[in-house]
Amino acid sequence: MNILEKIVIDKRKEVALRKSLIPVSQLESSVLFSRETVSLATALKNSATGIIAEHKRRSPSKSVINHTLNVQDVATGYENAGVCGMSVLTDGKYFGGSLDDLLIARAAVKMPLLRKEFIIDTYQILEAKAYGADVILLIAAILTREEIKTFSEFAKSLNLEVLLEVHNQEELQKSIMPSLDMLGVNNRNLKTFEVSLVTSKKLSTLIPDDFVKVSESGISSIEAIKELQPFGFEGFLIGENFMKTNNPGESATSFISNLK
């Protein structure tokens, strides 16, 4: 069993529990539910750098990345750095995140926020909306085509954008549909954890131009971005590179000014 399968088994239990504790009506009546969302896709299209910076305390591949920073400081630092948006990991067991992280980030900044989560139920999409996200992540590796369609259309009905993540050609082909805004290529092999930018380059030609192309994982240098831009990538998700420093906002600031 690979790590993704393990996470999904735990996620199903977790979501069942959350659903039993917090009814849908409570999510729908939250203050943020009626908030006007901000477009990450538009921000990426209009940006010369396309950085989506991440808040991530730990990961299954790296264990602890940074447990000492508070989300508010990280979010404000990223926004001041001029990133296009922020990805907030809300998985607790494997990544040390929570929905409260999303809430705190939302209170601190105006930029688009992505709820980075292993979505297996429409309930989690309602949570994303209720806690202030603008974008949700769908992972093709854990969803059927039917689920991708149902979840992405449901997200659109709530004015949330959808970033769909793929790892290979097969996942990409089953996923392409009009209810997606952005297609992300994850450069990390989930079985071996090895990272290769070749994955993004290979798949770039198969992604229709209607979608904003995003490259994820293993992007830690200006060179990597410069290498991927000619392949049509407009978004670059950077997590550990900023988070492993004492001041992610400052790291993002110098990274972006060097990239320009």
Read off the pLDDT of residues 151-183 as tens digits, 9 standing for 90 and up.
999 999 999 999 999 999 999 999 999 999 999
Name the pLDDT band for 218 (thresholds 50, 70, 90): confident
Please tell me the CATH superfamily of domain 3-259, with its number.
Aldolase class I (3.20.20.70)
Among 10-24, 49-63, 226-240, name the one with the lowest average pLDDT: 49-63
Long-range contacts of 10-15 (CB under 8 A, 24+ apart): 10/93, 10/94, 11/91, 11/118, 11/120, 12/120, 14/92, 14/93, 15/120, 15/121, 15/123, 15/124
Taking only the tens place, the pLDDT of each residue in 15-56 is 999 999 999 999 999 999 999 999 999 999 999 999 999 999
Which pTM was predicted?
0.96
Catalogue the active-site residues: 54, 56, 116, 165, 186, 216-217
- In 21-158, at which residue ranges do the beta strands (DSSP E only) sit? 51-55, 58-59, 63-64, 85-89, 113-116, 135-139
Model confidence at 211: pLDDT above 90: yes
